Structure 1
Amino acid sequence: MLVLVVDSSTPAVTAALVEVSADGVALRSHRCTVDARAHGELLAPEVDAVLADVGARPADLTAIVAGLGPGPFTGLRVGLVTGATMGQVLGIPTYGVCSLDGIGHPAAAGEPVLAASDARRREVYWAVYDGAGQRIAGPEVDAPAVAAERARDLAVTVAVGDGAHRYADVLGLSVRAEPRYPDPVALARLAGERIRAGAPGERLTPLYLRRPDAVAATARKPVLP
C-alpha cells in the first residue's frame, strides 16, 4: 500500500512516500526542506516530486498520514489542509499522528526521552516517551525550564528535536543530533495498524495548544469625534 506522509509542524516541510505492508513500513521517496516561512510554497512541489520519483500518480495512493502538530498556527495548517484536501478528492482515508511522536518514538532506545520542538515566544512544544517509545507525558507548550523540570521528574536524561537543540543550555540534558524533526517513516509506522486494517479515515484536527496571535475583534471600538 502506497501512503503519502506530510508534516509541516516545524520549520522542516516534509513529504514522503512509504510502502506499508504486513512486514512493516519502507521508505520509497522523501523530500524535506527547512524553511519556517515557506510551508505553503514548498509542500505541494514536494508531494509532486516524491510521486514522480517512484513513477506514481495521486490515484495510486492508498492513504495519507499527516503530522497533527503541535506547531505554529500558519505552518501547521498547510500540511493538514493539504492532507485533508487530497484525501477528500481521492476518496482515501487520512490518519493523524502527533508530530512529536515522530521525533520521540524513534529516539527512544531503552530509556525515557524528551522530544521538544521550537514553539517560538521562548517556549517549546514537548512530550516525554518511555524506553519503548510510548508517550507518557504531553504534548504541552511551556518555557524550556518547565519542560526540563517535568522531564527530570520522569527520570529523563536525554532530549531530541530542534527545540532541544535551541534551548540545550536551559534544558541541561544530553541532546542527540537526530531526529531533529518528525521522521515520516515513524509517523507512518504509528499509523500502520490503522492503515493495514483499513480503518475509517479521521478528521485531521490540529494540535495548536494555544490560540493564534491574530483574533477577531469582539466589540466595536468607540469612535471619538
Structure 2
Amino acid sequence: MRVLVIDTALGLCTAGVFEADGDDVRALGVRSESMTRGHSERLAGMARDAVAEAGGGFQALDRIGVTVGPGSFTGLRVGLAFAQGLGAALGIRVVGLSSLDALKASVEQAQTVVALIDARRGQVYGRAWRAGVAVGPAEAWAVDDARAFVAELETNAPLAADNRVHLVGSGAALVGEGLGHVVIHSLEGPDPAALAPLTAAADPQAHPPRPLYLRAPDATPPTRLPGQARVARL
C-alpha cells in the first residue's frame, strides 16, 4: 500500500510517501523539518515535493495518515484540514493516528515503552506498553504521578539493557529526571517511517481523522456577543 503520512502535532512538520506491506516499509519521498509554527505555509509544498520524489503523482496514493493528537491545537488543525481536503479531492481514505502511538512505534524494538508529551502546566500526556500491548489508555498525568508510574514499571521490569523502561517524546526527560534505569528518547515528533505501518494497518472506521484532546482547551467561550453590552453585576 502506498501511503502519504502527515504529522504537524508536535515539534516536526512531516510529509512522507511510503510503501507499507506489514512490517516491510520503504521510504519513497520524505520531507520533515523542526517546526512549532508556520505549518500552514510549509505543509503543502513539503507534501508536493515528497510525492514528486516518490513518483507516480498524487493519484498513486492509496491512503493518507495524519496525526490527530494530543499535541499543538494549531498544528493539529493544519494537518487535519490538509489531509482531509486532499483525501476528498483524491477520493481516498484518511485515517487518524495517535501521536502517542506514533512515538511508541518510533522505538518499536523496546519491550517496555512510555510515550510522553509535555502538556505544560505541570502535566504530561502519556501512554504505556509492555511487549507491544498497551497497559492502559492515553491520559493526562501530573508530572509527579507520571514519574511514580514509571518508577513502578521500573521495579517490575528486568534491568537488562534491552528490557529497561524506554521513555519517548518531549516529556521523556521531564518525567525521567532522577529515575535510574530508564532510557530517554527526547524526540521532537514521531519518526516518519513509524507512521507508515500505522497508516496501512488502521481501520478507517475505528481511526477517523478527528482531533484527540486529553485535556479541556485553555480558551473559554465568550460570555457575550461582539457589541453586546456587559451585564451589570449587583
For Structure 1 versus Structure 2, the TM-score category normalised by the shorter chain is 0.7 to 0.9
Partner of 2:162: none
Partner of 1:208: 213
CA deviations on 1:9-30 (whole Å, 9 max, x unpaired) are 1011111111123673212122
Q: Distance in 2 between matches of 1:171 and 1:30?
A: 36
CA contact (8 A) 2:97 2:207 kept: no
Q: 5+ unaligned residues in a row in structure 1: which ranges?
A: none
Residue 125 in structure 1 maps to residue 149 in structure 2 = no
Partner SS for 1:181: coil
Q: Distance in 1 between matches of 2:212 and 2:27?
A: 26
- Decide which moves more: 1-10 or 202-211: 202-211
Change in CA separation of 1:171 and 1:28 when aligned onto 2, cut-off 3 Å: farther
Partner SS for 2:177: helix
Superposed CA RMSD: 2.7
Between structure 1 and structure 2, the one with the greater Rg is: 2
CA contact (8 A) 1:103 1:180 kept: no
CA contact (8 A) 2:22 2:197 kept: no
Residue 191 in structure 1 maps to residue 199 in structure 2 = yes
Partner SS for 1:138: coil
**TM-score, normalised via structure 1 length:** 0.84
Q: Distance in 1 between matches of 2:217 and 2:142?
A: 18
Aligned partner letter, 1:159: L
Q: Distance in 1 between matches of 2:92 and 2:68?
A: 18
Partner of 1:158: 166
Residue 217 in structure 1 maps to residue 222 in structure 2 = yes
Residue 81 in structure 1 maps to residue 81 in structure 2 = yes
Shift of 1:213: 2.3
Q: Distance in 2 between matches of 1:15 and 1:179?
A: 17
Change in CA separation of 1:167 and 1:187 when aligned onto 2, cut-off 3 Å: same
CA contact (8 A) 1:11 1:36 kept: yes
Number of residues of Structure 1 aligned to a counterpart in Structure 2: 220
Q: 5+ unaligned residues in a row in structure 2: which ranges?
A: 158-164
Partner of 1:175: 183
Shift of 1:172: 6.1
Q: Distance in 1 between matches of 2:44 and 2:181?
A: 37
Change in CA separation of 1:118 and 1:49 when aligned onto 2, cut-off 3 Å: farther
Q: State the percentage of identical aligned residues.
A: 34
CA contact (8 A) 1:117 1:161 kept: yes
Structure-to-structure mapping, 1:79-158, within 5 angstroms: 79-109=79-109, 111-132=111-132, 134-154=133-153, 155=156, 157-158=165-166
